[in-house]
């Protein structure tokens, strides 16, 4: 499949990814279901995404059971896109199963062959994005709230996944189950799968009951209503009939919500086909005046070690959120910057709400999920954020800079930071004469 891959180039100005009017089209590739409620929820979600992307042509297609198919819908989008059509295909799927790895790419490749001049981007599965994890947690909390209300600390949670023939998809679901435990702190969490692999839902329910659980919440990690939700209710009903001493509630699926729509929008933006290399890096180059303004840095390792002194030099008021910090940062905190309050360390992990009041954010922990959560909150607050671990998942990039003779030179490359540094050094040498 001829999908446009990011290119490595370095500039001292900027190009752009097409956005707003004239932007690449978005095709949301959903699974398909015979459940009318699931189809309606899918179309409602597409409308929600469309509202978040003014000026972008947004369409939906289905792998099976519902029309249109992916090849037909993508072909239609591309043929309506003028002489140089562009589109991004975002699978509306959580895991990296057979549809994401095979069926959808094959359908996209067929459309590409029929419209060879098209430039396409293809996103991966939505995965355990922090916003989706938060949505699942909200559904668990709502189910436990009753009536009557259950204390979540006394509730066992069975986190239910689809199940796949791809081992990594199943392993990711087990990891999600642990993540749910770490965030919600119920009595226990158990992974289960509705099909293909084990442990099955009845097996997980039995395990929870064996360990004395009397209140159980099933948390379906499903995007939308459909046959999987129906199967869940059937299996729970059959199991509960034989275990009258244990109460079981089924939480809602993630469903049509802002969190899910925002993840789809982010996958679209980060996979837009880029302009040609000679057009420069896909950013707008600007200088920030941060003197006296609050800046949030999450993480206290090597990246923060380099960036915090530069932010201090720019006059920013830095709030450093991290359980630990480097030796250099400890020295800074013990010195004038720390004593004056210009740098303030909150010795803890990131919490939702930390971005509030910040003018600029740096997400630089060693945990991609934490960095993603910081970037997501920053985007929601309309605050520019640099992601140290995944530049394209943030909304700002940090240039390589040098100053000489009252001038500051900034170089931004397209995913080639080493070359940016070489260009910066060459410019600095030229300035020094």
H or E, element range at 379: helix 368-380
pLDDT digits (tens, 9 = 90+) for 334-347: 999 999 999 999 99
Residue 286 lies in a domain: no
Please choose, from the candidates 278, 302, 287, the residue with its C-alpha nearest in 3D space to the C-alpha of residue 414.
278
Residue 300 lies in a domain: yes
Whether 375 and 346 share a structural domain: yes
Which pLDDT value is given to residue 402?
A: 79
Q: Which two tokens stand for residue 20?
A: 């707003």
Residue 418 lies in a domain: no
Q: What is the C-alpha to C-alpha distance for residues 50 and 72, in angstroms, rounded to an integer?
A: 20
Please check whether residue 190 is in contact with residue 208, taking contact to mean a CB–CB distance below 8 angstroms: yes
Whether 137 and 116 share a structural domain: no
Please choose, from the candidates 127, 137, 134, 135, the residue with its C-alpha nearest in 3D space to the C-alpha of residue 217.
137
Q: What is the C-alpha to C-alpha distance for residues 380 and 355, in angstroms, rounded to an integer?
A: 10
Whether 117 and 266 share a structural domain: yes
Whether 304 and 270 share a structural domain: no
Whether 232 and 153 share a structural domain: yes
Q: What is the dihedral of CA 359, 362, 365, 371, to 10 degrees?
A: 70
Tally of domains in the chain: 3
Whether 228 and 159 share a structural domain: yes
Please check whether residue 399 is in contact with residue 421, taking contact to mean a CB–CB distance below 8 angstroms: no
pLDDT digits (tens, 9 = 90+) for 392-407: 889 999 888 877 777 7
Whether 202 and 244 share a structural domain: yes
pLDDT digits (tens, 9 = 90+) for 173-224: 999 999 999 889 999 999 999 999 999 999 999 999 998 889 999 999 999 9
Least confident stretch, 13-22, 162-171, 275-284, 346-355: 13-22
Whether 261 and 337 share a structural domain: no
Residue 77 lies in a domain: yes
Please choose, from the candidates 198, 227, 203, 257, the residue with its C-alpha nearest in 3D space to the C-alpha of residue 37.
227
Neighbouring CB atoms inside 10 A of 288's CB total 14
Residue 106 lies in a domain: yes
Output the domain CATH number for residue 306.
3.40.50.720
Whether 308 and 273 share a structural domain: no
SS3 assignment, position 313: helix
pLDDT band at residue 281 using 50, 70 and 90 as cut-offs: confident
Residue 243 has pLDDT above 90, yes or no: yes
pTM: 0.73
Residue 153 lies in a domain: yes
Cross-strand bridge partners of residue 370: none
Whether 98 and 139 share a structural domain: no
Mean of pLDDT over the chain: 88
Which pLDDT value is given to residue 354?
A: 95
Residue 3 lies in a domain: no
Q: What is the C-alpha to C-alpha distance for residues 199 and 191, in angstroms, rounded to an integer?
A: 7
Those residues whose C-beta lies under 8 Å from the C-beta of residue 228, and which sit 6 or more positions away, are 162, 194, 195, 220, 222
Which pLDDT value is given to residue 101?
A: 85
Whether 65 and 140 share a structural domain: no
Domain that holds residue 337: 294-397
Structural domain ending residue among the three candidates 197, 231, 250: 250
Residue 142 has pLDDT above 90, yes or no: yes
The per-residue DSSP string of 233-247 comes to: HHHHHHHHHT-TTSE
Residue 224 lies in a domain: yes
SS3 assignment, position 59: strand
Q: What percent of the chain has pLDDT over 90?
A: 68
Whether 273 and 302 share a structural domain: no
Output the domain CATH number for residue 166.
3.40.50.1400
């Amino acid at each position: 499949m001829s999908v446009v891959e990011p290119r490595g180039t370095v500039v001292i100005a900027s190009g752009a990814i097409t956005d707003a009017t004239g932007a690449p089209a978005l095709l949301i590739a959903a699974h398909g279901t015979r459940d009318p409620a699931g189809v309606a929820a899918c179309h409602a979600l597409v409308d929600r995404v469309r509202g978040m992307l003014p000026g972008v042509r947004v369409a939906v297609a289905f792998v099976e059971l519902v029309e249109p198919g992916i090849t037909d819908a993508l072909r239609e989008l591309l043929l309506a896109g003028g002489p140089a059509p562009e589109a991004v295909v975002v699978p509306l799927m959580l895991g990296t199963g057979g549809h994401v790895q095979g069926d959808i790419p094959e359908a996209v490749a067929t459309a590409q062959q029929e419209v060879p001049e098209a430039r396409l981007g293809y996103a991966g599965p939505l995965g355990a994005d922090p916003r989706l994890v938060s949505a699942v947690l909200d559904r668990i909390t709502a189910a436990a709230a009753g009536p009557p209300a259950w204390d979540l600390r006394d509730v066992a949670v069975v986190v239910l996944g689809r199940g796949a023939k791809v081992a990594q998809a199943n392993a990711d679901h087990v990891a999600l189950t642990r993540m749910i435990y770490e965030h919600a702190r119920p009595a226990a969490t158990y992974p289960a799968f509705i099909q293909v692999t084990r442990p099955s839902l009845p097996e997980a329910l039995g395990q929870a009951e064996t360990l004395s659980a009397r209140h159980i919440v099933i948390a379906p990690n499903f995007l939308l209503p459909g046959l999987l939700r129906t199967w869940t209710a059937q299996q729970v009903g059959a199991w509960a009939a034989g275990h009258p001493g244990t109460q079981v509630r089924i939480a809602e699926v993630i469903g049509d919500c802002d969190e899910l729509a925002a993840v789809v929008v982010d996958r679209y933006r980060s996979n837009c086909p880029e302009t040609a290399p000679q057009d420069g890096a896909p950013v707008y180059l600007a200088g920030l005046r941060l003197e006296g303004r609050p800046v949030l840095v999450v993480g206290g390792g090597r990246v923060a070690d380099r960036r915090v002194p530069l932010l201090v030099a720019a006059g920013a008021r830095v709030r450093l959120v991290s359980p630990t910090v480097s030796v250099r940062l400890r020295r800074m905190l013990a010195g004038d910057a720390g004593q004056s309050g210009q740098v303030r360390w909150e010795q803890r992990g990131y919490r939702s709400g930390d971005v509030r009041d910040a003018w600029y954010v740096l997400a630089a922990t060693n945990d991609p999920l934490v960095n993603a959560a910081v970037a997501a909150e920053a985007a929601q607050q309309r605050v520019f954020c640099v992601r140290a671990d995944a530049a394209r998942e943030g909304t700002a990039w940090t240039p390589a800079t040098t100053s000489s003779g009252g001038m500051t030179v900034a170089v931004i490359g397209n995913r080639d930071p080493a070359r940016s540094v070489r260009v910066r050094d060459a410019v600095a040498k030229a300035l020094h004469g």
